Amino acid sequence: MQYYSLHNNSPKVSFQEAVIKGLAPDKGLYFPEEIEPLEASFFQNINRYSNNEIAYELIKQFVGDEIPIDTLKEIIADVLSFDFPLVEVESDIYSLELFHGPTMAFKDVGARFMARCMSHFNKTNPNQVTVLVATSGDTGGAVASGFLGVKGVDVVILYPSGKVSDIQEKQLTTLGQNIRALEVDGVFDDCQAMVKKAFLDTSITDKMQLTSANSINIARWLPQMFYFAFAYKQLKDTSKKLVFSIPSGNYGNICAGMMAQKSGLPIDLFIASTNENKVVPTYLDTGIYEPKSSVQTISNAMDVGDPSNFIRIEKLHGHDFEKLKNNLHSYSFTDDETRKAMRNLYDDHHYIADPHGAIGYLGIKKYLENNNAQCIFLETAHPIKFLPVIDPEIASKIEMPEQIKSVLGKEKVATKISVYEELKSYLLE
C-alpha cells in the first residue's frame, strides 16, 4: 500500500514511512492510494468473527506486507485487550462505550496501535524518533500510556494550560520515563500550530526525526475504523437504517467511520455532533468553510477551530459538496444544552454520560425530529474525567475506576512554554 499527500506535492511513501513521518513534506496529510471494499458477505456474517478477526480484515490492506501477518495479529490482540460494549439507552438509540481501555478514552486504540507499529519498525530503524503531539484532552493521556517505555521513541506532549481536566492532566504529566509534557499558555489551536511549525522547521528536522501521534498520523487514525464494525456486530437488528453520531473536534474519529463505510460497512449516515466550535455545521449550512479560533467549552476535547482531518473527509467524498451533505449532517450545541442532556440521560434513562457523549446523544435527538433510524452515539471518554462539569448529584454516583486511581496520587511534571521558540529550544536541547 502506498500513501500520498493530500496536497499532492510530495512523493508517495510506504505505510512505514507514513507512520514515521506523520506529516508529508508539503504539509499534507497522508491518504491511502486505494481503498478496496471487503466482500459484502463479511459484514453479513460479522457475528461469526471475533473482534480481533474483524480488526485484522479491516486494517490489513492499509498495512500491506510491511508487518508480517502473525505480528500484525499479535499487535491487534494486544491493542484490543478490553471491551467495547453497545448499551441500549432508549428504543433504537445506543451508546457505544469506548472508554474501557487504560486511559478510559476512545483514543486508547489508535495510540496503542501506533505505538506497537512504531516499536516493530524501530527494530530496523537505527534512529531515535520523537513523537510530537498536541492534545485538547484525551489524546495526551492515550499517547503517553501507549508509548510508555517503547524503545527508540521519545514523546513530547503539548497541552493548553487550564483547558484540560485535572484527571486528563495527570494522565499526561505523571508517567515519566520517555514521556514529557509541555504546558502551553494558550488554547489547543496554539499547541497544534506549534507542532505543525516544528514539523516544517528544518533546523529541527535536520537534527531529529519527528512524527505525530495526533489523528493526522495514519496509524492513529485508521484503527478507529474498528469501533464502527464492533458496534454493528452487536446490533440486534441490522435491517434498519443505521446512523452514527460522533462527538467531533479534529474529525479523525468520524473520518475513520467513513473509511469503514468505504470498506463496505453498511452505514447510512453520519452526524458530526459538536460544541460551539462549529466550523463544519456552518460549512454544511452555507457552503463556506472558514476555520476560526477555538472556543473553550465543557466538552474540551472538541475545542478545535481548524479540524485537521476534514480534508480527508472531503477526499472520501470526491470533493463533491452535495455528496458530502447526503452522507453527513452536523449540529452544534451549547454548554447549557450539554448539561441538560447529561441530566436528562440520567433522570430518564439511568445513563451517565460525559459531556462529549451527551453531545453525541443530542445530535441523534436533533436528527430524529424529522427522521427515523436506528442510531448509535459514541461515548468517547469515561465521565469520571469530567467531574467538575457534571451535576454533583450525578457525579456522586460515579465510582472511581482503577485506571484513574493509579494516577491521582502522582506528581505533575510539566514545563511551561508560551511561544514557538521555547518549543524549538526544548526540542533541540
pLDDT in tens, 60-117: 999 999 999 999 999 999 999 999 999 999 999 999 999 999 888 999 999 999 999 9
pLDDT at 188: 83
For residue 207, count CB atoms less than 10 angstroms from its CB and return exposed for 0-12, middle for 13-18, buried for 19 or more: exposed
- Laid out side by side, the sheet with 242-247 consists of 86-90, 93-97, 374-379, 242-247, 269-274, 328-332
Residue spans of beta strands (DSSP E) within 275-369: 328-332
Which residue among 60, 73, 107, 196 is the active-site one?
107
Rounded-to-integer distance, Cα 61 and Cα 84, Å: 23
- DSSP 8-state symbol, 300: G
- Domains of the chain, by residue range, sit at 84-104+221-398
d(CA 317, CA 276): 25
Residue 35 is predicted with a pLDDT of: 97
Architecture of domain 84-104+221-398: 3-Layer(aba) Sandwich (3.40)
All three cell numbers of 391 = 451535576
Whole-prediction pTM:
0.90
**Annotated catalytic, 292?**
no
Say what the pLDDT of residue 301 is. Answer: 86
Tens of pLDDT, residues 199-245: 888 999 999 988 888 888 999 999 999 999 999 999 999 999 999 99
**What's the confidence (pLDDT) of residue 211?**
86
Please give the chain's pLDDT, 429 residues, in tens: 999 999 999 999 999 999 988 889 888 999 999 999 999 999 999 999 999 999 999 999 999 999 999 999 999 999 999 999 999 999 999 999 999 998 889 999 999 999 999 889 987 767 788 999 888 777 888 888 888 988 888 999 999 998 888 888 888 898 888 999 999 999 888 998 899 899 888 999 999 988 888 888 999 999 999 999 999 999 999 999 999 999 999 899 999 999 999 999 999 999 999 999 999 999 999 999 999 988 889 998 898 888 989 999 999 999 999 999 999 999 999 999 999 999 999 999 999 999 999 999 999 999 999 999 999 999 999 999 888 899 999 999 998 888 888 778 788 999 999 999 999 999 998
Which region holds residue 319: left if phi is over 0, alpha if psi is between -120 and 50, else beta? left
The answer to whether the beta carbons of residues 172 and 141 sit under 8 Å apart is: yes
- Tell me how many degrees the CA angle 103-334-372 measures, rounded to the nearest 5: 85
